[in-house]
Amino acid sequence: MDTAINTTFPIEIHKSPVSHISTVDFDQLQFGKVFTDHMFEADYIDGKWTNCTIRPLSTLQLHPATSALHYGQAVFEGMKAFKTTEGKVMLFRPDANFRRLNESCVRMAIPELPEELFMDALFQLVRIDADWIPNTDEGSMYIRPFVFATDDFVGIKPSDTFKFIIFCCPVARYYSKPVRVYMQEQFIRAFPGGTGAVKAAGNYGATMMPLMEARKRGFDQMLWIDGVTHNRLQEIGTMNVFVQIDDTIITIPTTEGTILKGVTRDSCIALLRDGGYKVEERDVTIQELIDAHRSGRLHDAFGTGTAATVAPIGVIGYKDEEYELPPVESRKASAWLKHELWAIRKGIATDRFDWMWEV
């Protein structure tokens, strides 16, 4: 056992005696199915974060009344570590994920995490499992920090105890083909005043049934529509959405509190503007999207997210119609954006926004 150099939240480190890295085929990685050797775990007890440990990844033992399992008091993040072409291990905007995790905690009545605890746990874990970061063009290590309520109590009240865990997965691409998204007005992902803007576990659970319906129709994901006007695009759920109409790239504003403030979304807006593209944050209605498609003015559409990075949308479905987007090879904005983001992460392009943190 080693103890890390962290004064307020000392981390006990128990390294796995054997690594299972040699059993993994890094050319056939399925997103989220392969896990690294270690995990971080801490408990919130009596108003303090304690028991900070990095140990071999294993299952958890939970009481059947664990409140997160019943009432969904649980939040998570998704972030990534990369290996540059020179072999340096870098995290992409961990400060932004840290801030958003705490915004999610506040909304879900979970105690905020101290920055020192979050960063130290993250950096130590990524260092220990750094060999797992694929050194390929599309590869990275997906990092999943999450916090959930652990009181074993069946009544409804905010939990007094929580667990903060981080585990990691070596990953390749999330979507291997242009994404087929489906719009409908019946099922709603998020309302003003709800939890759509934060990464609450329940946001995702509630989308599974409509997603199954969309899959039956041959689509990969829902493109959610707002629940007030039943008319405006929101987000994809795994991604924020961008569309290019004429020469303007439009993404949906996050001001209503229904849309996740994607770190990749924010990075893409900055990159596009820096690259001379015209970007607008404004609402887009179903009708505007269909009209733009019919008149040949919808030149590009893509989703952005940590897991998916920049994923071109191939088809937008609505009612019984399928609106096909131009072939991916002919699209300039999403291809340029994907390349720029990749080049910064791989250390090929200058990190002009100071996004990369060396581990």
The residue ranges that bind ligand COI (CB under 6 A) are 78, 238, 305-307
CB of 197: closest distance to ligand COI in angstroms? 14
- 62 Cβ contact list (under 8 Å, min separation 6): 69, 150
Angle between helix axes 94-107 and 263-274 (nearest 10 degrees) is 140
CB of 307: closest distance to ligand COI in angstroms? 3
CB of 152: closest distance to ligand COI in angstroms? 28
Nearer to ligand COI, 40 or 142 (CB): 142
Nearer to ligand COI, 301 or 307 (CB): 307
Nearer to ligand COI, 90 or 298 (CB): 90
Nearer to ligand COI, 9 or 132 (CB): 132
Nearer to ligand COI, 270 or 290 (CB): 270
CB of 124: closest distance to ligand COI in angstroms? 21
Nearer to ligand COI, 239 or 286 (CB): 239
CB of 201: closest distance to ligand COI in angstroms? 11
DSSP secondary structure, 263-326, as one string = HHHHHHHHHHHHTT-EEEE---BHHHHHHHHHTT-EEEEEEEETTTEEEEEEEEEETTEEEEPP
CB of 47: closest distance to ligand COI in angstroms? 29
Q: Which residue is nearest to ligand COI (CB)?
A: 78
Q: What are all long-range contacts of 111-119, with beta carbons under 8 Å and residues at least 24 apart?
A: 111/44, 111/47, 111/162, 113/49, 113/147, 113/164, 114/8, 114/9, 114/49, 116/6, 116/8, 116/9, 117/6, 117/8, 117/9, 117/42, 117/49, 117/52, 117/164, 118/145, 119/94
